Structures are given as C-alpha cells and as structure tokens.
Amino acid sequence: MDSLLIASNNKAKTKEIKRILGKFYKNILTPAEIGLNIEVDETGTSFEENAVLKAKAFSDASGMDAIADDSGLVVDALGGAPGIYSARFSREGTDEANNRLLLEKLKGVPEHERKARYIACVAIVFKDGKILTTEGKSEGRILESPIGENGFGYDPLFYDENFKKSYAQLTPEQKDSISHRGKALRLLADKLEKIIK
C-alpha cells in the first residue's frame, strides 16, 4: 500500500509504529512531515473510541489512510486509574509530573498490590472510510522509584517480571516484543496481511 499517516505527534509512538508496520506501506508519515497540524479532543470513553476519533480526524483532514494509538496505564490499586487519562494524569501532564503523582498515590502500597497493565488500542481508518481496530495488553507492576533511560511515559516505573527490568531499561526491540502497542500492532499487521492477499 502507498502511504500511511500516523495520527500522533508522540515521537516514541511514531517510531514504534514505523518499526512494526514499515513493511506494509511505502511511506509512513507523521503530521509534521506533511505540514498538518490538528488537535483532536479525546472525548471518547474508551481507548478504542479515542483511537478511532484520532485516526478519523487525521484521515479526513489528509485524504490518506491514518493510524492512531490510544493507550494508557491501568493500576489495580487505583481502581484502574489513570486509564484513558494517562497522558493528563497530573496537572502539568509531563511524563515527570505524571510519574511523580503515580508514586505519591502508591506510597505505602506493598509490592504484591502494585499490579498494573498497559493497554493500547490501535485503529486504522482507510481513505474509503473502512476501520480496523486491535487491542494489546501487557502486565507488570509499579516500582517504588524510576529506573532506566529508554522508552517514554511511565516506562521507568513499569516493571516486567520476565525481563526483570523496567520498560525504560529494555532496548526498543525488547519493548516491541512484549509491549501492549507491539501486540496491538502485530495483530493489526495480521489483519492487514489478510486484506492485501
């Protein structure tokens, strides 16, 4: 297929999407690369609704196939928060402030009650209006202090029991192999493969 527009300005996400879907499209472009600047209000009540909202807005504005991811962190001890509000958990909304607030809220919570998962919903809206969505989850637990330099968002606090490392200590390829977004994108790749054949 020809060109795919990524409906996101999150650099870490766009890199992950390019790595995994690169073989399906000749060009995978970001909004900046085509000079498109739109803000989409994430007014949905689920990851899926928000992913479709974002992909549709970018597809409509560009006339291209567009892919969006809506994702977040679900913490059991916080009743599922921050969930779909993960990017805007703290007032500042920066990764640093979000991580600080998460640690504050989990102060005194013992290790076995710090279970959490990342969830990602990925949606492609094709230029003919058809929609494909997939979802991926990855399980982990929230550390008591940040460690690692890679990744983004809550990665320095999100610990994987198999690698025995935080997501921020994983290489990009290791993260892709187990992450919520990696899983959702591979499921999407399977669906795309069937469409192309």
User: CB 96 → ligand ITT: shortest distance, Å?
Assistant: 11
Does the protein bind ligand ITT through residue 146 (CB under 6 A)? no
* 49-to-45, 56, 71, 74 alpha-carbon distances in Å: 7, 11, 11, 17
| Two structure tokens written together for 171 | 């290489």
Active site residue 70: yes
65 touches ligand ITT by CB under 6 A: no
Min CB(31)–ligand ITT separation in Å: 9
Strand duo 115-125 + 65-75: pairing:
antiparallel
In the set 21, 65, 118, 124, which binds ligand ITT (CB under 6 A)? 118
The candidate with the shortest Cα–Cα distance to 162, out of 135, 137, 139, is 139
Binding of ligand ITT by 154 (CB under 6 A):
yes
* Element holding 27 (H helix, E strand): strand 27-29
Q: What spatial distance separates the first Cα and last Cα of the chain, rounded to whole Å? A: 12
Whole-number minimum distance, CB 101 to ligand ITT, in Å? Answer: 11
Q: Does 10 bind ligand ITT (CB under 6 A)?
A: yes
Residues engaged in binding ligand ITT (CB under 6 A): 8-10, 13, 42, 69-73, 86-87, 98, 118, 151-155, 167, 179, 181
Q: Which residues are catalytic, by number? A: 70
